[in-house]
């Protein structure tokens, strides 16, 4: 999978994953683009996450993370879609605890969603979520 391309859909990381991806020399050969979808409206209208998914499971769920990664991959015609959604704090969201994060990755012949429980400040949780996204990406790329 040497010639992979990637698109990202981020919520709780607020663009941190894309920022880090584009720090690498030669990133333009692989990075297609991304969407920071901080609200359910944007997750639905731009990333095409089903309203039913958001209503039934919430924005912070494995189901939403998977749809975000699947759909951003399709929207950008990328070989890999990567997504983050979670609660960075300082308060709970949708009744879900601060530090709960889902990261999803989708490719032509694989998909994986991981659940994490991070702690720390808002910035620390965002950084840990971005680290987790990179860890997942590294497992699925050469």
Mean pLDDT of 59-81: 98
- Is residue 105 included in any domain, yes or no? yes
The sign of the dihedral angle between the CA atoms of 79, 24, 26, 16 is positive
- Please write the tens of the pLDDT for every residue from 12-46: 999 999 999 999 899 999 999 999 999 999 999 99
Task: Note the pTM of the prediction, 2 decimals.
Answer: 0.96
Cα torsion at 52, 54, 56, 61 (round to 10°)? 140
- Is residue 1 included in any domain, yes or no? no
- Is residue 129 included in any domain, yes or no? yes
For residues 90 and 98, the answer to whether their CB atoms sit within 8 Å is yes
- Is residue 87 included in any domain, yes or no? yes
- Total domains in the chain come to 1
In angstroms, the CA 59 to CA 10 distance is: 11
- Is residue 14 included in any domain, yes or no? yes
- Please write the tens of the pLDDT for every residue from 80-115: 999 999 999 998 898 999 999 999 999 999 999 999
- Is residue 98 included in any domain, yes or no? yes
User: Domain limits at 129?
Assistant: 6-139
- pLDDT band of residue 1 (cuts 50, 70, 90) is very low
Name the more confident of 48 and 91: 48
CATH number, domain with residue 40 = 3.90.950.20
């Amino acid at each position: 999978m040497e010639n992979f391309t990637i698109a990202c859909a981020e919520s709780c990381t607020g663009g941190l994953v894309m920022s880090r991806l584009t720090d690498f020399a030669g990133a333009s050969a692989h990075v297609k683009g991304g969407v920071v979808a901080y609200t359910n409206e944007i997750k639905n209208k731009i990333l095409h996450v089903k309203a039913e998914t958001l209503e039934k499971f919430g924005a912070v769920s494995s189901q939403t993370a998977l749809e975000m990664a699947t759909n951003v991959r399709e929207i950008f015609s990328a070989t890999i879609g990567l997504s983050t959604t979670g609660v960075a704090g300082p308060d709970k969201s949708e009744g879900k605890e601060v530090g709960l994060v889902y990261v999803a990755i989708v490719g032509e012949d694989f998909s994986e969603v991981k659940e994490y429980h991070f702690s720390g400040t808002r910035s620390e949780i965002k950084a840990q979520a971005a680290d987790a996204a990179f860890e997942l990406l590294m497992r699925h790329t050469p």
